[in-house]
Amino acid sequence: MALLEGKTGLIFGVANHRSYAWHIAKALVAHGADCAFAAHPDEKLMQRAREAVDQLDLSRPWIEPCDAGRDEDLDAVFAAYARDHARLDFVVHSIAFADREWLSPGTFVGTPRQSYLQAIDISAYTLVAMADRSREQMAAGGGGSILAMTYYGSEKVVPGYNVMGVAKAALEASSRYLAADLGPDNIRVNTISGGPLRTLAASGIAGFRQILTHNAERAPLRRNVEGQDVGGVATFLVSDLSSGITGENIYVDCGVNTIGL
């Protein structure tokens, strides 16, 4: 029997076939899971997300629009999911947003209140909002696994990551508090700290190529991370193999975070 046979869940953050969320979906599907999707309602983004989901060859692709910054959209997508699916075993949070203007080195000090709040809202609060809306259906099925993508810039200064680093620190702390609240319902909440990957979110970042080169040189594995590296760990965290792991962060960065000098 496949590792994730009988497990069904909802994935946020597929923009295209390069997205971390897409690689996670690919791996979960390969191990027998049923995946449903929520994507940003912007027409072009929604169309790209549809094309990416089509590449997964699902028998009945399920994809609904959701601006995670809107409570009404989150309510609607979880209601539609529950209407169409008997169980909710996992939720994957793979979304982040900050105003590009404040993602360049040396500009953190100038971050306006609105840009700071928006980064925390979309990149961190949405995990809490999703967990709250998952709880009932997950608990009814005996538990579940909630997973969010984070980055090392939450812990150490990565020039230019700026307000996103603050938002990821909030995301990681939120996952621990959620793990404590939801543990009694056997709902686990964990984060994966992924290495730099060339995605849509990374494409706008000046100097991303240098970050990739620098990482591959420093990494104990002497390479950059690939989508499937994260897909494998996501499979593990969704599966019952990780039944005793919650409130945890797992680095999938080819070991870069362990190097001091």
Where does this chain bind ligand NAD (CB under 6 A)? 13-15, 19-21, 40, 45, 66-69, 94-97, 122, 149-151, 194, 196-197, 199-202
227 binds ligand 0WE, rule: CB under 6 A: no
- For residue 161, indicate whether it is catalytic: yes
Stretch that binds ligand 0WE, among 3-11, 47-55, 92-100, 253-261 (CB under 6 A): 92-100
The string of DSSP letters for 24-77 reads HHHHHHHTT-EEEEEE--SHHHHHHHHHHHHTTT-SS--EEE--TT-HHHHHHH
Closest contact distance (angstroms) between CB of 184 and ligand 0WE is: 31
Q: Which of 81, 152, 161, 251 is catalytic?
A: 161
Closest contact distance (angstroms) between CB of 208 and ligand 0WE is: 7
What is the dihedral angle through the alpha carbons of 65, 66, 70, 72, rounded to the nearest 10 degrees? Answer: 70
Name which of 140 and 216 has its Cβ closer to ligand NAD: 216
Which residue has tokens 């307000």? Answer: 163
- For residue 177, indicate whether it is catalytic: no
Using alpha carbons, list the distances in angstroms from residue 184 to 30, 86, 135, 179: 30, 22, 11, 9
Name which of 87 and 208 has its Cβ closer to ligand NAD: 208
- Residues ≥6 apart with Cβ < 8 Å to 153: 161, 164, 165, 168
Closest contact distance (angstroms) between CB of 67 and ligand NAD is: 5
The two structure tokens encoding residue 143: 């538990």
Where is 12: in which H helix or E strand?
Answer: strand 8-12
Stretch that binds ligand 0WE, among 28-36, 42-50, 109-117, 199-207 (CB under 6 A): 199-207
- The DSSP letter of residue 252 is E
Among 201, 233, 238, 254, binds ligand 0WE (CB under 6 A): 201
**Strand 90-93 relative to strand 144-150: parallel, antiparallel, unpaired?**
parallel
Catalytic residues: 151, 161
Which residues make up the interface to ligand 0WE (CB under 6 A)? 96-98, 100, 103, 151, 158, 160-161, 164, 196, 201-202, 204-205, 211
